[in-house]
Structure 1
Amino acid sequence: MYADRHAGARGIKPVSLGASLLVNGAVVLALIYAAPNVVGHKEPPIKIEFIPIPPPPPPQPQPSAAPHRATPAPLPYVPKPDVPVPHLTPPIDITPSLPLNPGPIVGLDDGPAVQPSPSPLALVGATIDPRHAADFQPPYPPSEQRAGREGRVVVRVLIGVDGRVKQIEKVSATSDAFFDATRRQALGNWRFKPATRGDVPVEQWKQMSVTFVLQG
């Protein structure tokens, strides 16, 4: 059997055209109903939740500094007592020996030799001259004798090179009458052997005491 090649040229059948339109319309309607779900599709809203942040850890306690202690005041320096160290051997004399008759000492300027100063001589104190020992007791003041009073006088006297009293000073006295009697007697009648230094008479202060006693 051969196909009719000229059958299609006879025209479009109304039944086929209607069926085709119906199918296309159904497709268009399907697309229109399906379009809102395809085109208008939206992503679901994002839900925001606040997650609490844990608070920071509390600060670590810092190590407390050691309390400041006041520096004690230094103790006063006390020197250690000297400890005597015994000498195991006698000291050695290193002084150079000198000739018995040294020659003259000549200075750089040919001037006179300087002689060492002599050592100070001992002082021999003044003493009462025994030839005038009876003249040391002053006469009793009449006013004190009538009153029946006894007394004592202590004085310092400056004894000159001739053995006489040059000055007198009161140290203590029972009364002025006793001191006046002692002063007059010392300046007029007291005699001493003067003090000497190397057999040379020198002046010296000396303290003396006088006692006034009533005779029974």
Structure 2
Amino acid sequence: MSLQAKLDAFKADFEAGKPPYSVPRSVIDVMHRATSELIASGLAERALKAGDAAPAFTLADANGRKVSSADLLATGPLIVSFYRGVWCPYCNMDLQALQAALPMFRDRGASLVAISPQNAANSRKSIRNNNLDFPILSDPGNETAAAFGLRFKLPDYLIELYQSLRNDLPAFNGDASWTLPMPARFVIGQDSVIRYAEVNPDYTRRPEPEDMLPALGRSPAHAA
């Protein structure tokens, strides 16, 4: 089953209130409103695209070690996946799909990192819960996400909803900004030029990991 098919199945069950989910229709309506407004804002169209220069970044991994995009690019192309946090079930399914595709990325000489605004403890939880074998980096205040054009502030009505659901982003992230990144994936070449970009303001929609393979080229072992 494709990643998007899994996401669609989860969304259908969630919105139908099937066990273990029991969410009032009013909550679903608020989430739909927020997504529609983010789409209408045009923010995704202003994010970085293929052909743009990728911003350099140095962020801490789940164990506090600094990870530099420059160091990773010195060894090959770099895949960067931005996600909302460990609390987002769509993001967790996305991370699992990236983990399943990791051998194909490594076969092409590429590194993979995922970036979220959450603190290190929640990054460790992401790794543990999803059995990940690639780094999760913490982006305080979504500053790196902003450099890629992905950061947005939640509207007040959505903040109120999150608070009512005890989805406390300041506690997850360690900052009170109530900002998130739009989910996005980038393939960055060793020249720091973006080769592939996929940004979606609808967090329930994610591209297939295999979509990035053409931008990574052939396996070095088979490139003649």
Larger radius of gyration between Structure 1 and Structure 2: 1
TM-score (norm 1): 0.26
Name the one with the larger helix percent.
Answer: 2
**Greater relative contact order (Cα < 8 A, sep 6+):** 2
